[in-house]
Amino acid sequence: MNKNIESVLISEQKLEKIVNSLAKQIEKDYNDKEFIMLGLLKGSIAFMADLMKNIDLDFRIDFMVASSYGSGTESSGKVKIKKDTEFEVKDKNILIVEDIVDSGNTLNFVCNYLMTRGAADVKVVTLCDKPTRRKVPFEPDYVGQVIPDEFIVGYGLDYDELYRNLPYIGVLKRSVYEN
Ligand code: PRP
């Protein structure tokens, strides 16, 4: 295990089960519905790569970069779109793929933004949800796992742009971010 990880919160085996179960639900719900799978970079990369391979439907993928965190552990509350979608979203069904919902600021902003641009429908699948941290009301449509208020990294999630490559989700040692 990485020396800066306190404990494993979601193991590789558990991640596989969660992703398979979410993929099944999405496959069922979007069976007769065209959609664009829209990943929010960079956190969603590992989750989206695994999720999309398990959905046996025809769909396009796209990416956005929307950021509200600096290099610290708290959301600034201000969301900036650093990279917009490649595809036109007007009249399209959009399924956003996210690694974590924390304050809710990012997804609240991005969902409103896509609806303003005329998307027909916007739904969100998140691997992790920290509902106790919400600052704005936001409820994802599909949730992999509800997690406690601990600083987690791995499987796409970072601290200061590190640890995204870990194959599991782990709790970061406090000493890493408290100094
Ligand atoms: C993280 C995460 C979510 C957002 C969640 O992204 O991927 O997009 O923060 O926090 P919120 O609910 O408080 O808005 P970040 O801006 O760190 O960028 P990243 O995806 O590149 O890690």
Indicate yes or no: pTM above 0.75.
Answer: yes
The DSSP string of 4-64 is TEEEEEE-HHHHHHHHHHHHHHHHHHTTT---EEEEEETTTHHHHHHHHHT--S--EEEEE
User: Which atom number of ligand 1 is nearest to the Cα of residue 161?
Assistant: 22
* Tens of pLDDT, residues 92-116: 999 999 999 999 999 999 999 999 9
Around ligand 1, the residues with Cβ closer than 6 Å are 40-43, 67-69, 75, 98-106, 158
* Tens of pLDDT, residues 144-178: 999 999 999 999 999 999 999 999 999 999 999 99
Q: What are phi and psi of 75, to 5 degrees?
A: -70, 140
Which are the catalytic amino acids?
A: 102
In this prediction, residues 32-60 reach a mean pLDDT of 98
The percent of residues above 90 in pLDDT, for the chain, comes to 92
Both ends of the chain: CA-CA distance in Å?
Answer: 22
**32 CA to centre of ligand 1 in angstroms:** 31
